[in-house]
């Protein structure tokens, strides 16, 4: 299955998912979408990471725009890194809201948005938490997620 779209630069960018599970990121000319100029094979984990990289900034930008009239309120992406003490543990285990006042409004995982995660939501390395709070609280939350 191929899904692609045209970009302003005159190219098409797309993803081809093969029946055997292989995934390719492709670039082709806009006038000949069947002639790929480049094809990059991706593992499932790499495809998920790319989806998070592309999806999370848009969500953060949207939330930032919605909060622009609320002075002192910011939105930030907070990653769950490989080897994090919170990998495999619940959002409640982080106690971010209690410890910092930060609210986690969504978790980006494998290109999917999990909105309004509950304290029982299990975190996984590679997740990007979308959090809202003051600058100081967001910085403290980042430190907690990095160090435990």
What DSSP designation does 121 have? P
| All domains of the chain in start order, with CATH | 2-42 (no CATH), 45-147 (3.30.70.1450)
CB 63 within 8 A of CB 132: yes
Look-up of token digits 């430190």: 143
CB 133 within 8 A of CB 73: yes
**Dihedral sign, CA of 82, 87, 93, 95?**
positive
Using CA atoms, how far residue 96 sits from 1, 26, 57, 91, in Å, is 41, 39, 21, 8
Per-residue pLDDT of the chain (148 residues; tens, 9 = 90+): 888 888 888 888 888 888 888 889 889 888 887 778 889 998 877 877 777 666 666 666 666 666 666 677 888 889 999 899 999 999 999 999 999 999 999 998 877 788 889 999 999 999 999 999 999 999 999 999 998 8
What φ, ψ does residue 103 adopt, rounded to 5°?
Answer: -110, 130
Per-residue confidence (pLDDT) for residue 62, from 0 to 100: 65
pTM of the model: 0.60
Per-residue confidence (pLDDT) for residue 56, from 0 to 100: 60
CB 105 within 8 A of CB 63: yes
């Amino acid at each position: 299955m191929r899904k692609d779209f045209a970009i302003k630069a005159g190219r098409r960018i797309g993803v081809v998912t093969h029946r055997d599970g292989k995934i390719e990121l492709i670039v082709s000319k806009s006038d000949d979408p069947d002639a790929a100029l480049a094809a990059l094979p991706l593992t499932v984990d790499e495809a998920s990471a790319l989806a998070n990289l592309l999806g999370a900034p848009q969500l953060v930008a949207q939330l930032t725009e919605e909060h622009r009239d609320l002075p002192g309120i910011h939105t930030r992406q907070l990653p769950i890194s490989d080897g994090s003490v919170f990998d495999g543990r619940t959002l409640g285990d982080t106690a971010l809201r209690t410890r910092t006042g930060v609210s986690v409004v969504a978790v980006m995982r494998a290109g999917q948005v999990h909105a309004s995660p509950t304290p029982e939501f299990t975190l996984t390395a590679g997740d990007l938490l979308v959090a809202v709070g003051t600058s100081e609280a967001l910085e403290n939350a980042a430190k907690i997620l990095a160090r435990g």
